[in-house]
């Protein structure tokens, strides 16, 4: 399949470039900036994009791509740091500048190819501390802002372009048009990336594997879609196992079992392991340690089940692109944000091979696959739930009391959103609880109780998220219900941090 390759120089937006390009049915793949020339050639890209990054091209240890990439005669687009790399490589000069973070007005100086169809000035999102002081002689300026004279440059003869702003973020007006111009008009890549094609290709590939597959399902959309894809490929050689770890939403273990037995014709078993998980978490407060403990216990149960009910050769999971990225095992130089139980939490002693059919997909793409596979709408629109469950929505040690508070409070949040017809319009909503306490007044008495944090966010793919502006009346109703219906809660707060800099889950 024809594709655009994105070289990752460590920007928080690197994967958004891929996401935006995939939106117009073009496959985009992220690779490390220092990929070898041989490995890059094997991918057979139709064009290359250099992402942004936190470094400066003029420092001694700045990340640099292989020089030979510029000699491949492929179209290249540099974004932010990638723009500065191009300037530096072709004999221009990059200088330290005043940091610019936010929206700037971009004036188009040349509206052919890369900036065609843009029209008048547009708002462009800047996030940089360096800029091009001198443009290489083979390039000309095709766009500028009030503060950046070379905000967009082009060597049109060799199809090499650099832009100081970020077209991949939604704050840049017509940013998708710019990326589409590069991919379709300049690289002339075929629009072959569709979820229908993905399903067909994935089923075909999985059908070639030998041995039986054990698939851990949580009731969420990711593991469910993974199971259905595998079942479509190998039928009864798949066995699904649901583990009740005691860290689920209120009454969720019953709902999941009913859903699977009613809707899907797959082999399904459930295991009650509440005490096993909760005893292992006793006294543990570090979030990374909690994630690793939960991940390892899942694998112990899967391995034990496989030995007793096998033989199984494969363990399948619903791992997604964001899981891989945030666990620090992605293809770029990203730091570990958090260890996902099905990625960074896998122990070395695991004796099953891993099958991850969704590893290259984003959440919204998974939902499109789910529609193709006929997943019921109530599951399709179900909010994401972390693999380690409430262990990462409980700050500090997981206790019976905090578990009860998190379960009931989250249920209240969901019920009120459904009543307000907002549940399907937000990405994720839940209640978290920690060790902080505050004084309240119950009747005529002062009471020292827990603080509950409400988190509701809007997102497309979980790579970025913004806090949802709920009506004040709805927030008041949620708060009143939580403090009235949960005995140990005295305060309710609402989280107004976006991702980044925050994450969607508290731990």
Alpha-carbon distance of 475 to 488, in angstroms, equals 19
Q: What crossing angle do the helices spanning 363-372 and 221-234 adopt, rounded to 10°?
A: 50
Tell me if 271 sits within 8 A of 306, measured CB to CB. Answer: no
In the annotation, is 80 catalytic? yes
Q: Is 137 exposed, middle or buried (0-12, 13-18, 19+ CB in 10 A)?
A: exposed
With a CB cutoff of 8 Å and minimum separation 6, the contacts of 284 are: 290, 293, 397, 398
Alpha-carbon distance of 229 to 235, in angstroms, equals 10
Closest CA to 413 of 458, 457, 454: 454
Alpha-carbon distance of 124 to 281, in angstroms, equals 47
Active-site choice (100, 131, 168, 253):
168
Active-site choice (15, 18, 80, 360):
80
Q: Give the C-alpha distances (Å, rounded to integers) separating 331 from 9, 158, 234, 340.
A: 10, 28, 30, 16
Burial 490-504 (b: 16+ CB within 10 A, else e): bbbeeeeeebeeeeb
Alpha-carbon distance of 198 to 192, in angstroms, equals 10
Helices (H), 391-452: 400-419
Tell me if 80 sits within 8 A of 101, measured CB to CB. Answer: no
Alpha-carbon distance of 225 to 364, in angstroms, equals 12
Q: What is the DSSP string of 303-357?
A: HHHHHHH----EEE----HHHHHHTT-SSS-PPPS---TTTTT--TT--SEEE-T
In the annotation, is 166 catalytic? yes
Active-site choice (15, 83, 166, 383):
166
With a CB cutoff of 8 Å and minimum separation 6, the contacts of 362 are: 15, 19, 22, 320, 321, 322, 461, 462, 463
Alpha-carbon distance of 275 to 372, in angstroms, equals 38
Q: Which residues pair with 3 in a beta bridge?
A: 27
Alpha-carbon distance of 253 to 247, in angstroms, equals 10
With a CB cutoff of 8 Å and minimum separation 6, the contacts of 36 are: 66
In the annotation, is 215 catalytic? no
| Region for 101 from its dihedrals, namely left if φ exceeds 0, alpha if ψ lies in -120 to 50, beta otherwise | beta
Question: How wide is the angle at C-alpha 371 spanned by C-alphas 168 and 178, nearest 5°?
Answer: 15
- Which residues are catalytically annotated? 80, 166, 168
């Amino acid at each position: 399949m024809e594709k655009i390759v994105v070289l990752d120089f460590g920007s928080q937006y690197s994967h958004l470039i891929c996401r935006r390009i995939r939106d117009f049915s073009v496959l985009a793949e992220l690779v490390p900036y220092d990929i070898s020339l041989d490995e890059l050639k094997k991918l057979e890209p139709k064009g290359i994009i250099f992402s942004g990054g936190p470094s400066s091209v003029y420092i001694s240890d700045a990340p640099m791509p292989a020089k030979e990439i510029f000699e491949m005669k492929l179209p290249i687009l540099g974004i932010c740091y990638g723009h500065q790399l191009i300037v530096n490589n072709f004999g221009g000069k990059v200088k330290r500048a005043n940091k610019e973070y936010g929206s700037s007005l971009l004036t188009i100086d040349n509206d052919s190819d890369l900036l065609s169809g843009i029209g008048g000035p547009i708002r462009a999102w800047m996030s940089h501390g360096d800029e091009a002081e001198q443009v290489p002689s083979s390039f000309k300026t095709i766009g500028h802002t009030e503060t950046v004279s070379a905000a967009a440059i082009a060597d049109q003869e060799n199809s090499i372009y650099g832009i100081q702003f970020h077209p991949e973020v939604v704050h840049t007006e017509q940013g998708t048009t710019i990326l589409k111009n590069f991919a379709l008009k300049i690289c002339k890549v075929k629009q072959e990336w569709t979820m229908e094609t993905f399903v067909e290709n994935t089923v075909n590939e999985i059908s070639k594997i030998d041995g039986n597959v054990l698939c851990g399902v949580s009731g969420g959309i990711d593991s469910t879609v993974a199971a259905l894809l595998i079942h479509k490929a190998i039928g009864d050689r798949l066995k699904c196992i649901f583990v009740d770890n005691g860290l689920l939403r209120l009454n969720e273990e019953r709902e999941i079992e009913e859903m699977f037995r009613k809707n899907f014709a797959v082999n399904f078993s459930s295991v009650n392991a509440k005490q096993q998980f909760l005893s292992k978490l006793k006294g543990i407060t570090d979030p990374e340690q909690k994630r690793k403990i939960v991940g390892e216990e899942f694998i112990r149960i899967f391995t034990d089940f496989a030995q007793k009910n096998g033989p199984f050769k494969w363990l399948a999971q619903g791992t997604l692109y964001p899981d891989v990225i945030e666990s620090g095992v992605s293809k770029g130089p990203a730091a570990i944000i958090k260890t996902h139980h099905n990625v960074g939490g896998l122990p070395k002693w695991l004796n099953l091979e891993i099958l991850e059919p969704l590893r290259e997909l984003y959440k919204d793409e998974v939902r499109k696959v789910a529609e193709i596979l006929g997943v019921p709408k109530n599951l399709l629109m179900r909010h994401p739930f972390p693999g380690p469950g409430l262990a990462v929505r409980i700050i500090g040690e997981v206790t019976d009391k905090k578990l009860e508070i998190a379960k009931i409070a989250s249920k209240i949040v969901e019920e009120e959103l459904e009543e307000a017809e907002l549940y399907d319009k937000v990405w994720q909503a839940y209640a978290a609880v920690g060790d902080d306490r505050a004084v309240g007044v119950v009747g005529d008495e002062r009471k020292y109780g827990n603080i509950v944090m409400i988190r509701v966010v809007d997102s497309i793919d979980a790579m970025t998220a913004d806090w949802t502006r709920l009506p004040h009346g709805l927030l008041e109703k949620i708060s009143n219900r939580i403090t009235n219906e949960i005995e140990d809660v005295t305060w309710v707060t609402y989280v107004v941090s976006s991702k980044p800099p925050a994450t969607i889950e508290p731990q």
